[in-house]
Amino acid sequence: MTTPHYIDGRWVEGQGSDCIVVHNPSDGQPFAELMAASSAQVDQAVAAARRALTSWKTVSATERANYLRGFAEQLGQRRDDLIALQMRNNGKPRHEAEIDLDDAIATFAYYADLAEQLPAKNRDVPLAAPGFTARTRLEPVGVVGLIVPWNFPLVTSAWKLAPALAAGCTVVLKPSEITPLIEQAYGQIAEVLGLPAGVLNIVGGKAETGAALSGHNGLDKLSFTGSNGVGSQVMRAAAAQCRPVTLELGGKSAIVVFDDCDVDQAVEWIVAGITWNAGQMCSATSRLLVQDGIADALLPRLQAALAALRVGNPLSEEVDMGPLTSQAQWLKVAGYFATAREEGLECLAGGTALDRDGWFVSPTLYVDVPVSSRLWGEEIFGPVLCARRFGSEAEAIAQANDSRFGLVATVCSADLERAERVADALEVGHVWINSVQAVFVETSWGGTKGSGIGRELGPWGLSGYQSVKHVTRCLG
């Protein structure tokens, strides 16, 4: 058993009713156990954050920036251990785990710089009416609850934690019960840095713990990343308190390939968009729209590229794609393979759950998938790509936008003017042109439609944890 919860500057054992068993998805074997935090411990964490807020929000921007840089430096010092844990608990190949860590480090460093650049709290506001003066203040929202998913632990928590601390908020962080260990590094770092007790609290658990946090009346804001089903529950809980929320939810994103593309380059972008993290990404470009003029050349090469990917245990071999992170996700993806067979979809690659230890599936390509198919419309969260052809630019835009989601998209074309035009027409929060999914902390992250509310990263991520106050004074 491990001591998993960090409350008011102390590590404590869980007192909840759930025992969480942590597995290695590469062999399906458990390697850690912990008891979930109880509702009473969530109360304690929120109370600690409330007490700490009074002093933390008055700490200078420079001092907060120093703490954030300390987080970045300490993550770097723990590099080998954190990469190994990402590989062991998530099944990520080493190169992916390394990028995750670098992303988290860059996020804390960026918000340290942004904290130092915050404008003075008081800014004069020119008024047209004589006899009055006005000023505006940016203040921290207050105590925030952060609920993060299992597909990018360490990273998603950094995206939330760094701007919240930069803004002067105090935090209660709930990791996923599937990957509850790596976020403990943040509590360990807080101890090393001497972060005031209560500024950061970490409570792990399953649905009971998440419900206790999302419904807690001591929070001033909730930020959640995860599935649409759970996101709607979080939103309902926030609505009961009239509390603001940021929601980063699902996606069923399109990659649009025009017939002027270099075929091999297009295949590289397509494969990366569906197999990174074994397709367990809300941003996975799982709907391939390929123009008629290039389809016959591209699809066989894509079939060969997917079949050639090395799938295996990243802890014992060099691989391109690891396992799915949980048995539940493996069963879900296997269920979609069964649905594809029932629907009579044409499978060019994969379509099977692999018969080996661990939770592995094959990278999969279905072609000529009708829009009525469940696989075309639903988020699968696995390396499952569905392809359709299109003729004109207008048809491509219409098919790409025909989704209840609107997170990201990719456009592939040698005609950059056309690529920019299509990017502007797509109803999503982020578009890549002729690129893999490179995510930079300076840019925003979030979507439209059913993909969520609000934005993370960049200055937009910071503003999500700030409240605007105006003070108007009569001169008479």
What positions carry a catalytic annotation? 248
SS3 225: strand
DSSP strand E in 38-182: where?
A: 123-124, 132-140, 143-147, 170-174
Q: Number of C-alpha atoms within 13 angstroms, CB side, residue 427?
A: 17
Please, are residues 140 and 111 in contact by the beta-carbon 8 Å criterion?
A: no
Amino acid at 407: L
Please, are residues 284 and 274 in contact by the beta-carbon 8 Å criterion?
A: yes
Q: Is 109 exposed, middle or buried (0-12, 13-18, 19+ CB in 10 A)?
A: buried
Please, are residues 239 and 216 in contact by the beta-carbon 8 Å criterion?
A: no
Please, are residues 188 and 11 in contact by the beta-carbon 8 Å criterion?
A: no
- Backbone angles phi and psi of 90, in degrees to 5: -100, -20
Amino acid at 399: Q
Task: Locate 95 and state its tokens.
Answer: 């190169």
DSSP state of 114: H
- Backbone angles phi and psi of 256, in degrees to 5: -105, 120
- Backbone angles phi and psi of 27, in degrees to 5: -135, -5
Cβ within 8 Å of residue 129, ≥6 positions away: none
Please, are residues 71 and 125 in contact by the beta-carbon 8 Å criterion?
A: no
Nearest residue to 406 (alpha-carbon basis) of 298, 303, 282, 315: 282
| Euclidean distance between CA atoms 181 and 174, whole angstroms | 11
